[in-house]
């Protein structure tokens, strides 16, 4: 059934769209071709339909659709429905895994509150190319559906040693280390509040030299995720879930 004028588009959930432009009452925001196609042909929305838009800076707004030409669409903000508020500050540094698993990590990490996705290249990383645009597209989709008001920053891949060399002095590096470390729950309870990052390794794990370099960093907090060896994607997401449970990120 087509969505009627004035309705929030919601067969199965309201439509929230991430936009790049500033949002201000009465100033139309142009939607991109993918969004216009989705609204017209998937949601069968009509001119006058209400949607929600956000850009990571101006909060969330109720906006009304205008379908101007055969393909174009715009949304005119009416009123703010949520203010922006402060975002969490948690990076996920992860060795990229195969395409589907990396996309899954980008989506789920966004749902779990990560503020920055940082692919890292280690000696045993087997994926040679990371599609940062695709990672961002997955993060945007997850932010739209999870009611987030922002989208995590998606960085280009960085070699592990370069990342360690430039590590910020005030950011804890929570190192998922299956080779013997205190349980993550205990380690987090002892960690003072402040910026943090979770680091998880590739399918083959970190090699001994890499592991020693990570552990030598003064900001390193080694943690165990339990007695079993988790797959790389499982480990990253399990660590984020524990962090969120303790810190509410
Ligand atoms: N060392 C193994 C190997 O050589 O294949 C396993 C690596 S595991 C598949 C990938 C990454 O997940 C590890 O580098 C680590 O960061 C994380 N990980 C897996 N299980 C873990 C656990 N029980 N505790 C902490 N981290 C874990």
Mutation pick for ligand 1 pocket among 205, 206, 231, 237 (CB with most ligand atoms within 8 Å): 205
User: Is the C-beta atom of 178 inside 6 A of ligand 1?
Assistant: yes
What pLDDT does 86 receive? 87
Which mutation among 177, 178, 204, 243 tests ligand 1's pocket best, with the greatest number of atoms within 8 A of CB? Answer: 178
Instruction: Establish whether residue 230 lines the binding site of ligand 1, counting it when its CB lies within 6 angstroms of any ligand atom.
Output: yes
Average pLDDT, the chain: 91
CA 207–ligand 1 middle distance (angstroms): 11
Confidence of residue 8 (pLDDT cuts 50, 70, 90): low
**80/92 Cα distance (integer angstroms):** 30
Ligand 1 test: best mutation among 222, 229, 232, 233, most atoms within 8 Å of CB? 229
pLDDT value of residue 12: 39
Q: Please determine, for residue 3, whether its predicted confidence score (pLDDT) is greater than 60.
A: no
Q: Residue 69 has what pLDDT?
A: 66
Q: How far is the CA of 132 from the centre of ligand 1 (A)?
A: 24
The reply to whether ligand 1 has any atom less than 6 angstroms from the CB of 206 is: yes
Kindly report, residue by residue over 65-98, the tens digit of the pLDDT. Answer: 998 767 789 999 999 999 998 888 999 999 988 8
- Long-range contacts: 226-233, Cβ < 8 Å, 24+? 226/183, 229/178, 230/178, 231/101, 231/203, 232/94, 232/95, 232/97, 232/101, 232/200, 232/201, 232/202, 232/203, 233/97, 233/101, 233/102, 233/104, 233/105
Q: How confident is the model at residue 56 (pLDDT cuts 50, 70, 90)?
A: very high
**Atom nearest to 175 CA in ligand 1:** 16
Residues with Cβ < 8 Å from 247, sequence gap 6 or more? 90, 188, 193, 196
Report which of 122, 97, 104 is spatially closest to residue 210, judged by C-alpha positions: 122
Q: Which residues neighbour 63 within 8 Å (Cβ) at sequence distance 6 or greater?
A: 23, 29, 50, 51, 52, 53, 75, 76, 77, 78
**pLDDT tens digits, residue range 144-199?**
999 999 999 999 999 999 999 999 999 999 999 999 999 999 999 999 999 999 99
Of 146, 217, 86, 134, which is closest to residue 199 (Cα–Cα)?
217
Question: From ligand 1's centre to the CA of 153, what distance in Å?
Answer: 25
The whole-angstrom separation of Cα 103 and Cα 105 is: 5
Q: What pLDDT does residue 10 have?
A: 47
Q: Is 126 in the pocket of ligand 1 (CB under 6 A)?
A: no
pLDDT of residue 87: 86
Domains and CATH numbers, the chain: 16-82 (2.40.240.20), 90-247 (3.40.1280.10)
Phi, psi torsion values for 31, nearest 5 degrees: -95, 150
**What is the tens place of the pLDDT at every residue in 103-118?**
999 999 999 999 999 9
Q: Find the 97 Cα to ligand 1 centroid distance in Å.
A: 13
pTM exceeds 0.85, yes or no:
yes
**pLDDT of the residue at 58:** 98
Helix boundaries (H) for the chain: 33-37, 99-111, 132-145, 160-165, 184-190, 208-216, 232-247
The pick from 176, 180, 185, 208 for probing ligand 1's pocket by mutation, whose C-beta has the most ligand atoms within 8 angstroms, reads: 176
Question: If you average pLDDT over residues 32-47, what whole number do you get?
Answer: 89
Spatial separation of the C-alpha atoms in residues 59 and 73, rounded to whole Å: 21
232 touches ligand 1 (CB under 6 Å):
yes
Residues 92 and 212: their CA atoms lie apart, in Å, by: 20
């Amino acid at each position: 059934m087509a969505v009627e004028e004035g309705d929030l588009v919601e067969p199965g959930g309201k439509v929230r769209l991430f936009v790049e432009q500033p949002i201000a009452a009465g100033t139309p925001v142009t939607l991109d071709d993918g969004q216009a196609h989705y609204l017209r042909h998937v949601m069968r929305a009509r001119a006058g339909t209400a949607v929600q838009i956000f850009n990571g800076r101006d909060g969330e707004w109720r906006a009304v659709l205008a379908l101007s030409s055969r393909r174009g669409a715009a949304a005119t903000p009416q009123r703010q429905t949520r203010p922006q508020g402060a975002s969490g500050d948690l990076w996920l540094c992860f060795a990229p895994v195969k395409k589907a698993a990396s996309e899954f990590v980008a989506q789920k990490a966004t749902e779990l509150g990560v503020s920055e996705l940082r692919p890292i290249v280690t000696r045993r990383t087997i994926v040679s190319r990371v599609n940062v645009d695709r990672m961002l597209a997955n993060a945007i989709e997850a932010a739209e559906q999870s009611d987030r008001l922002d989208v995590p920053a998606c960085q280009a891949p960085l070699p592990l040693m370069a990342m360690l060399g430039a590590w910020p002095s005030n950011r804890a590096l929570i190192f998922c280390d299956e080779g013997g470390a205190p349980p993550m729950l205990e380690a987090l309870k002892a960690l003072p509040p402040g910026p943090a990052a979770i680091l998880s390794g590739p399918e083959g794990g970190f090699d001994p030299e890499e592991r020693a370099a990570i552990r030598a960093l003064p900001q390193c907090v080694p943690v165990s995720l339990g007695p079993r060896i988790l797959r790389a994607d499982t480990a990253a997401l399990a660590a984020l879930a524990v962090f969120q449970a303790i810190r509410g990120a």
